[in-house]
């Protein structure tokens, strides 16, 4: 825990370097973002204080409080990675790239941290390449196994990684998407990678990028599961502590803007020019400077006021307002803004594990996505704004029928 009796609210200790973490944004009392609930359980929800700070020692941006991992990642974890066609293609292409490069050798071995329903490892498995996915959330892990994928239903950390090395030998690639930023015990992850990775192997992971979050004021990327908000600069320092060089970076358009980071053992591979370029750009923009982060926090308050103002006005006019995509991100928006069913009557979502339940904290009913076209609202708040192209293309008829989308990233707009 980074906050507690000895440090008090507003300051804490960095989970990476032990330096002082200064809070710059308090998003208040928040539920677990993926804890969709039955109406009868509405008075038994778990809440924590969602606040984010920056380490004065290593610049790493991180949550001030840590939620115990078993509360978030368990058998009923309802996020299924294969729910987006764009993401299915993104991960098939990523797997294909590894098959043609790092894994193009006899007896190659690939490990994925947070393989979820097998959206990426399916391509590796179909190619007959040796692999193992770590996935502590038992329900999605079973779905991956159903696709013929080897899964260890466990958390990746130093101990489990060392066991894997003894059982399977060294890994040529250790990959993770949207998972490393979920893991407060980053030290244990790097030590695990050290134990498991082949001497010439690569550790590659992609996560939401602080540069995009600040630029787009996408404060909904901040929730219980997203513990870290990486920059190339902060990660290069973190990797260095554990014997790894940041040797490549690549910006990705998915999930509102991410970066894919490639690490290799110190001195094993020359860094690509892109690493120095991105770090220089971060410094030129003063990306992780306290003043920049305070400016971001101020804009978050403006987005909240604009969104609540718009929704309150629409209710006064008697408009029917729903939302699209019961995202984890939207828990931060609804709970920070105080938006409940009186402002957004329901959320449409294609995930069976979420349908028929209430959204965490805000208690907005989740209904099957098919219900959207069966009775269009006047307005739909696009909670899954990161999938805007995919969803708006599928639901073209909504605007033709007179409906309008409400977006709040990078600012509040009706389109
Ligand atoms: N890689 C997928 C899933 C991201 S969701 C994608 O990009 O869509 C994050 C996943 O990480 C969840 O399925 C969660 O169960 C898993 N996870 C959380 N902590 C983990 C850990 N220590 N080791 C392995 N997986 C973990
Ligand atoms: P996502 O934005 O990927 O992640 P998070 O929950 O971490 O914020 O979640 C997208 C949600 O939107 C997920 O519940 C599935 C749903 N969805 C649809 O209902 N229809 C769609 O076409 C797509 C792409 C997603
Ligand atoms: Zn630090």
Nearest ligand to residue 77 Cα: 1
Quick one: which ligand is closest to 138's CA? 1
Peptide bond into 410 cis (omega under 30): yes
**Atom from ligand 2 closest to the CA of residue 329:** 8
156 in ligand 1 pocket by Cβ < 6 Å? Answer: yes
Take residue 192 and report the two structure tokens written for it.
């695990």
Question: In the chain, which residues have pLDDT < 70?
Answer: 1-9
Q: Three-state secondary structure along the chain?
A: CCCCCCCCCCEEECCCCCCEEEEEEEEEEEECCCCCECHHHCCCCCEEEEEEEEECCCCCEEECCCCCHHHHCCCCCCCCHHHCHHHHHHHHHHHHHHHHCCCCCCCCEEEEECCCCCCCHHHHHHCCCEEEEECCCHHHHHHHHHCCCCEECCCCCHHHHHHHHHHHCCEEEEEEECCHHHCCCHHHHHHHHHHHEEEEEEEEEEEEEHHHHHHHCCHHHCCCCCCEEECHHHHHHHHHHCCEEEEEEEEECHHHCEEEEEEEECCCCCCCHHHHHHHHHHHHCCCCCHHHHHHHHHHHHHHHHHHHHHHHHHHHCCCCEEEECCCCHHHHHHHHHCCCCCCCCCEEECCCCCCCCECCCCCCEEEECHHHHHCCCCEEEECCHHHHHHHHHHCHHHHHCCCEEEECCCCCEEC
For residues 288 and 233, give the distance between their C-alpha atoms in angstroms, rounded to a whole number. Answer: 9
- Ligand 2 binding site (Cβ under 6 Å of any ligand atom): 79, 83-84, 325-329, 349-351, 354, 369, 384, 386-387, 390-391, 394
First to last CA, the chain: 42
Nearest ligand to the C-alpha atom of residue 384: 2
Residue whose CA is at the smallest distance from ligand 1 atom 8: 81
Pocket test for ligand 2, best of 87, 387, 392, 407 (most atoms within 8 A of CB): 387
**Structural contact between residues 396 and 291, judged by C-beta atoms closer than 8 angstroms:** no
Q: Is the pTM of this model over 0.85?
A: yes
Q: Which atom of ligand 1 is nearest to the CA of 189?
A: 22
Does the structural domain 81-290 have CATH classification 3.40.50.150? Answer: yes
Distance 359 CA to ligand 2 centre (A): 13
Q: Do domains 81-290 and 291-414 have the same CATH topology?
A: yes
Hey, what are 260's tokens? 């894919």
To test the pocket of ligand 1, the residue of 66, 182, 204 to mutate (highest count of ligand atoms within 8 Å of its CB) is 182
Q: Which of 384, 393, 394, 405 to mutate to test the pocket of ligand 2 (most atoms within 8 A of CB)?
A: 384
- Which mutation among 87, 114, 225 tests ligand 1's pocket best, with the greatest number of atoms within 8 A of CB? 114
* pLDDT for 397: 98
Instruction: Say if ligand 1 is within 6 A of residue 113 CB.
Output: yes
For residue 182 and ligand 1, the question of a CB distance below 6 A is answered with yes
Distance from the CA of 18 to the center of ligand 3, in angstroms? 6
Domain 291-414, CATH class in plain words = alpha beta
Alpha carbon of 332 to ligand 2 centroid (Å): 15
Closest residue by CA, ligand 1 atom 22: 155
Plot region of 140 (φ>0 → left; ψ -120 to 50 → alpha; else → beta): alpha
258 CB-near residues (< 8 Å, 6+ apart): 178, 206, 207, 208, 209, 212, 251, 252
Å from CA of 286 to ligand 3 middle: 17
Q: Which atom of ligand 1 is nearest to the CA of 140?
A: 13
pLDDT of residue 304: 98
- Separation of CA 101 and ligand 2 centre (Å): 31
What's the pLDDT at 10?
Answer: 83
Spacing of C-alpha 359 from chain mean position: 18
Ligand 1 centroid vs 113 CA: distance in angstroms? Answer: 6
Q: How far is the CA of 91 from the centre of ligand 1 (A)?
A: 14
pLDDT digit string, tens, across residues 143-166: 999 999 999 999 999 999 999 999
In ligand 1, which atom is closest to the CA atom of 77? 15
Would the CB of 134 count as within 6 Å of ligand 1? yes
Amino acid 9: pLDDT: 67
Domain map of the chain by residue range? 81-290, 291-414
Going by C-alpha positions, the residue among 101, 81, 100, 77 that lies closest to residue 91 is 81
């Amino acid at each position: 825990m980074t906050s507690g009796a000895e440090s008090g609210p507003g300051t804490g200790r960095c989970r990476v370097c032990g330096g002082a973490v200064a809070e710059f944004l308090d998003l208040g009392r928040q539920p677990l973002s993926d804890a969709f609930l039955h109406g009868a359980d509405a008075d038994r929800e778990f809440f924590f204080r969602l606040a984010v700070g920056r380490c004065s020692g290593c610049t790493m941006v991180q949550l001030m409080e840590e939620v115990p991992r078993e509360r978030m990642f368990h058998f009923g974890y309802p996020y299924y990675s294969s729910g987006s066609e764009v993401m299915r293609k993104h991960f098939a292409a990523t797997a294909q790239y590894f098959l043609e490069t790092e894994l193009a050798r006899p007896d190659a071995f690939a490990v994925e941290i947070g393989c979820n329903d097998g959206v990426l490892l399916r391509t590796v498995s179909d190619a007959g390449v040796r692999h193992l996915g770590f996935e502590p959330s038992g329900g999605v892990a079973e779905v991956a196994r159903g696709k013929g994928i080897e899964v260890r239903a466990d958390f990746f950390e130093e101990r489990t990684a060392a066991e894997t090395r003894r059982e399977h030998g060294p890994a040529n690639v250790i990959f993770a998407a949207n998972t490393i930023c979920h893991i407060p015990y980053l030290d244990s992850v790097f030590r695990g990678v050290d134990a498991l990775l082949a001497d010439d192997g690569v550790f590659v992971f992609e996560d939401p990028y602080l540069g995009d979050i600040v630029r787009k004021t996408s404060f909904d990327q901040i929730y219980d599961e997203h513990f870290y908000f990486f920059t190339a600069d902060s990660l290069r320092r973190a990797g260095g502590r554990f014997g790894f060089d940041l040797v490549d970076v690549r910006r990705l358009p998915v999930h509102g803007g991410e970066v894919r980071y490639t690490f290799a053992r110190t001195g094993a591979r020359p860094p690509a020019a892109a690493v120095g370029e991105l770090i220089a750009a971060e410094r030129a923009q003063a990306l992780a400077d306290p003043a920049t982060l305070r400016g971001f926090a101020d804009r978050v308050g403006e987005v909240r006021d604009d969104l609540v103002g718009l929704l309150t006005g629409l209710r006064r006019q008697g408009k029917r307002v729903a939302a699209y995509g019961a995202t984890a991100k939207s828990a931060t928006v609804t709970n920070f803004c105080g938006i409940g069913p009186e402002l957004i009557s329901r959320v449409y979502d294609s995930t069976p594990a979420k349908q028929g339940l209430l959204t965490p904290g805000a208690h907005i009913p989740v209904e099957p996505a098919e219900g959207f076209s069966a009775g269009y609202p006047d307005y739909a708040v696009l909670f899954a704004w990161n999938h805007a192209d995919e969803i708006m293309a599928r639901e073209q008829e909504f605007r033709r029928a007179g409906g309008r989308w409400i977006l709040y990233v990078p600012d509040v707009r009706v389109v």
